[in-house]
Amino acid sequence: MGRLRTITRRTFLIGSAAIVGGVAFGTYMAKRPIKNPLLSDLEEGEAAITPHIKIDATGITLITPRADKGQGAYSMQARLIAEELDIDPATATITPGMPGPAYYNGAVMEESTPFPAYEQGALAETVRKFMHVPAKLLAMQITGGSSTVPDGFVKLRMAGAIARETLKEAAAQQTGIARDQLNTENGAVLLPDGQRIAYTDLATAAANIEPVTDVDLRPKSAWKFLGKPTQRLDMSAKCTGTEQYGIDFKLEGMVHAAVRANPGIGAGVESYDATEAETMRGVQKVLPINNGVAVIADNTWRAWRAAEAIDIKWEPGPYPASTANIFTQIENVLDADEHRDHRQRDEGDVEKALKNGELFEATYKVPYLAHAPMEPMNATVLVTDEQCEIWTGTQIPLFVRDHAAKLTGLDKDNVLVYVQPMGGSFGHKLEDTHVLQAVEIAMAMKGTAVKLVWSREEDMTHDYLRPGAVAKGRGTVIDGKVATFDLSVAQSALLPDWFGRLMDMSIPGPDATITTGAWDQPFAIPNYRVTGYRAPTMVPISSWRSVGASGNGFFHDTLLDELILKASADPLAERIRLCLDDTSRKVLEKVGEMSNWDSPLMGPNKGRGVAFCLSFGVPTAIVTEVTNTEAGIKIDKVYAVVDVGDVLDPVNLEAQVFGGVIFGMAHAMNCETTFENYAAQQNNYHAFEGMRLYQVPDIEVVALSNAQKIRGIGEPGVPPAAPSLGNAIFAATGQRIRELPFNKQINFV
């Protein structure tokens, strides 16, 4: 009980800050109250109880500001609110609402602190909380970092509880019956005599009283929707073709646009000849835009065809022309002191220990990777003299608004961003180049709505990629144990690049993402060091499902596997022995039990690999079983164990782990983005295939609930997937593959 109370009270402050504009509580640096984004579009007779719930005579609207990229965020947010508000979420309207600074996302910044997630000490907690401040200052309405659940778990339930109690208070004042004599049920206040007053009938009265903020959250045992298998609210629409994605959005009189921008991303156009394109059927206009050329036509296909017919001479790109040159620059900074970015882990005496006994050394490499969500980037924009309206799927609606305001010269308040359901993102929709292109085109078409859809080719050659990286691993073993583990990672810095691009702000200091997923692992090795080296900024890079851990999970766990085998220890037993965190150790033990680790695999040419990564606070262990067939590697079976604390939605959790494991393995199998003549070479799925259904193994998922803190599961399945596959391939073939994708050296069937 004590624990629940502290958490509740602490987070309640955060919750109420968003509700009453109370960031001026004094705990934070931001003194300016954050404006309630709902008030501006409220009509008379409507009452805004909190920024997450809107009730009027016609019904209840739940505003779920964290974008849904397919991970089920809308359903989850709605359920968190509904649990306390006492309504059936299926009866409410659910909308991402208008972006507003009150929807700041505190949790997304939490894991950028210099403390590993397993370190729950007082200082770590303080700094982690402190990170809410810059998030708030920057008014970041971002969806990312698997933060929707941790950020909303208390905040959204609080919003629901405050709304419920305030509605009860309104009923109390109307009936003269004390609030504590009243109950609620399914969207209504229940009077002691069984009479019901619908929330919708109390909305106006509730608007005129002070919100009741002294509320308690319901204990887990009383949950109705949370912790149980439920159906996602968007499932029926998505299985009947009726879900309306950004690409399906339509306005009367809308025109269609296509663009071709310099594939040397960021460089301009030298000259172009659109003579042929201008005469093609349906083409209304060809115009130059920032770094490219746009076509406006009456149909998407016609616009694309005309865009292809333009003869364009590009300026050379602003980075090295080929992948070979790019990786030379990365290799050059590896282990070069003057390029050292940070060393957040340095235990024992690594230098000395490396000289003691036989030295193991290996180099690892991961490629640049596109996000390539199934729905290509698109945006529909209508610009008039007074305002700019934008319909697009985005994880960063506020940045989109600010950038469009700057571009159009309009006041921010006159830029309206309507977030559309997304056909995937994996981080691509943390960028807004395509939206700004659409705004630029719409400015030339004032009064006419413009829908811009990137062709798959435009999408995959203008992505902000998962950074390529190179790592050097060294180590020693003594008496059958890993004695020294030393990992150096070199890549370009990701966060400063992104902040600079989106916020026009330079972020000084180290970039933790260079070693995230490696420096912060819960192991105790006598001599243990992880160092990040910063390569220059080259091709544009950004967050890709699981961010830094996507590459570092592979580096860290593969090196660990190699050292354990060198020590002739058992891969699972030695990881368990080295593990210093209880929650993580139980995850490893569980995956051993599920996979019958100690029993021999049936059949020849079989191999089994285990891998572990702690990312976004979620310890995740995977065991993969493969067969080395004549034609190549067959992935037979995957066991995955995670610990997210309380599981709020077991069905969606399993789906997210399936998705994460497949995403991690698919790219490790056969995907990379390489550059030639400044341009990304893989421009469609034929060259970036991923996993197909026939290759998908049986996957078993177990979620433990030993962790103290509740966590999101959109990303943690990704990092250990690739190393578990690599370790299994080694077990089956004796071939250690240290560079991704694996298919450069081995086939898959």
Partner 1 sequence: MKVSHMEITVNDQTYSVDVEPEMPLLWVLRDELGITGPKYGCGIAQCGACTVHVNGYAVRSCQLAVGDLGSSKVSTIEGLGTPDSLHVVQESWIEHQVAQCGYCQSGQIMQAASLLSTNPNPSDDQIDAAMSGNLCRCGTYPRIKAAVKSAAKKLQGS
**What residues line the site for partner 1 (CB under 8 A)?**
69-72, 231-232, 234-245, 247-248, 250, 256, 281, 299-302, 372-376, 421-426, 453, 455-456, 651-652, 655-656, 658-663, 666, 684-686, 689-694, 696, 698-699
List phi, psi (to 5°) of 365. -150, 135
Q: Which is nearer to ligand FES, 397 or 424 (CB)?
A: 424
CB of 456 to ligand FES, least distance (A): 8
**Interaction partner, residue 101 (ligand FES, partner 1, none; CB < 5-8 Å by kind):** none
**Interaction partner, residue 231 (partner 1, ligand FES, none; CB < 5-8 Å by kind):** partner 1
Secondary structure of 285-312 as H, E, C letters? EEEEECCEEEEEECCHHHHHHHHHCCEE
Contacts of 373 (CB under 8 A, 6+ apart): 69, 422, 423, 424, 425, 426, 428, 429
Q: Which is nearer to partner 1, 158 or 307 (CB)?
A: 307
**Interaction partner, residue 299 (ligand FES, partner 1, none; CB < 5-8 Å by kind):** partner 1
Beta carbons within 10 angstroms of residue 207's beta carbon: 18
CB of 622 to partner 1, least distance (A): 14
Side-chain half-sphere of 731: how many Cα atoms within 13 Å? 27
Q: Tell me the torsion sign for CA atoms 198, 200, 201, 203.
A: positive
**Interaction partner, residue 549 (ligand FES, partner 1, none; CB < 5-8 Å by kind):** none
Cross-strand partners of 93: 61
Structure tokens given for 186: 């399914």
Q: Which is nearer to ligand FES, 97 or 424 (CB)?
A: 424
Q: Which is nearer to ligand FES, 50 or 71 (CB)?
A: 71
CB of 670 to ligand FES, least distance (A): 17
**Interaction partner, residue 243 (ligand FES, partner 1, none; CB < 5-8 Å by kind):** partner 1
* Radius of gyration from C-alpha coordinates of the chain: 27
**Interaction partner, residue 71 (ligand FES, partner 1, none; CB < 5-8 Å by kind):** partner 1
Q: Which is nearer to partner 1, 199 or 663 (CB)?
A: 663
Q: Which is nearer to ligand FES, 203 or 662 (CB)?
A: 662
Q: Which is nearer to partner 1, 17 or 73 (CB)?
A: 73
Q: Which is nearer to ligand FES, 74 or 675 (CB)?
A: 74
CB of 420 to partner 1, least distance (A): 12
CB of 666 to ligand FES, least distance (A): 12
CB of 747 to ligand FES, least distance (A): 24
Q: 210, 165 in Cβ contact below 8 A?
A: no
CB of 685 to ligand FES, least distance (A): 7
Q: Which residues between 405 and 424 bind ligand FES (CB under 6 A)?
A: 424
d(CA 659, CA 640): 12
Contacts of 83 (CB under 8 A, 6+ apart): 157, 160, 218, 223, 224, 225, 226
Q: 516, 114 in Cβ contact below 8 A?
A: no
Which residue among 15, 37, 70, 367 contacts ligand FES (CB under 6 A)? 70
CB of 426 to partner 1, least distance (A): 7
CB of 573 to ligand FES, least distance (A): 38
Q: Does 374 sit near ligand FES (CB under 6 A)?
A: yes
Q: 317, 264 in Cβ contact below 8 A?
A: yes
Measured in residues, the chain has a length of: 749
**Interaction partner, residue 237 (partner 1, ligand FES, none; CB < 5-8 Å by kind):** partner 1
**Interaction partner, residue 502 (ligand FES, partner 1, none; CB < 5-8 Å by kind):** none
Q: Which is nearer to partner 1, 200 or 684 (CB)?
A: 684
CB of 301 to partner 1, least distance (A): 4
Q: Which is nearer to partner 1, 108 or 662 (CB)?
A: 662
Q: Which is nearer to partner 1, 68 or 165 (CB)?
A: 68
CB of 238 to ligand FES, least distance (A): 8
Structure tokens given for 697: 């193994």
Distances (CA, A) of 667 to 335, 484, 557, 613, 684: 27, 30, 17, 17, 14
Q: 78, 64 in Cβ contact below 8 A?
A: yes
d(CA 471, CA 462): 26
- Spatial CA neighbour of 640 closest among 693, 600, 588: 588
Q: Does 714 sit near ligand FES (CB under 6 A)?
A: no
CB of 344 to ligand FES, least distance (A): 35
Q: Which is nearer to ligand FES, 424 or 522 (CB)?
A: 424
What b-and-e string marks burial along 581-603, b requiring 16 or more CB atoms within 10 Å of the CB? bebbbbbbbbbbebbebeeebee
CB of 38 to ligand FES, least distance (A): 31
Q: Residues in contact with ligand FES, total (CB under 6 A)?
A: 3
Structure tokens given for 728: 């299994």
Q: Which is nearer to partner 1, 251 or 444 (CB)?
A: 251
**Interaction partner, residue 422 (ligand FES, partner 1, none; CB < 5-8 Å by kind):** partner 1
Q: Tell me the torsion sign for CA atoms 408, 412, 416, 422.
A: positive
Question: Which spans in 309-443 are helix H?
Answer: 323-333, 350-354, 397-408, 433-443
**Interaction partner, residue 232 (ligand FES, partner 1, none; CB < 5-8 Å by kind):** partner 1
Q: Which is nearer to ligand FES, 52 or 545 (CB)?
A: 545
CB of 372 to partner 1, least distance (A): 6
d(CA 25, CA 127): 18
Q: Does 645 sit near ligand FES (CB under 6 A)?
A: no
Q: Which is nearer to partner 1, 369 or 578 (CB)?
A: 369
Q: Which is nearer to partner 1, 453 or 518 (CB)?
A: 453
- Spatial CA neighbour of 558 closest among 575, 583, 535, 581: 575
Question: Which spans in 122-176 are helix H?
Answer: 122-130, 132-137, 148-175
**Interaction partner, residue 659 (partner 1, ligand FES, none; CB < 5-8 Å by kind):** partner 1
Structure tokens given for 382: 């209508």
**Interaction partner, residue 32 (partner 1, ligand FES, none; CB < 5-8 Å by kind):** none
Q: 485, 560 in Cβ contact below 8 A?
A: yes
CB of 414 to partner 1, least distance (A): 29
d(CA 691, CA 665): 8
CB of 682 to ligand FES, least distance (A): 15
Q: 245, 421 in Cβ contact below 8 A?
A: yes
CB of 545 to ligand FES, least distance (A): 12
**Interaction partner, residue 122 (ligand FES, partner 1, none; CB < 5-8 Å by kind):** none
**Interaction partner, residue 359 (partner 1, ligand FES, none; CB < 5-8 Å by kind):** none
Residue with tokens 């078409």: 445
Give the residue closest to ligand FES by C-beta: 374
Contacts of 560 (CB under 8 A, 6+ apart): 482, 485, 523, 575
Q: Which is nearer to ligand FES, 70 or 473 (CB)?
A: 70
d(CA 371, CA 460): 8
d(CA 713, CA 402): 30
The answer to whether the bond into 540 is cis (omega within 30° of 0) is: no
d(CA 367, CA 740): 6
List interacting residues with ligand FES (CB under 6 A): 70, 374, 424
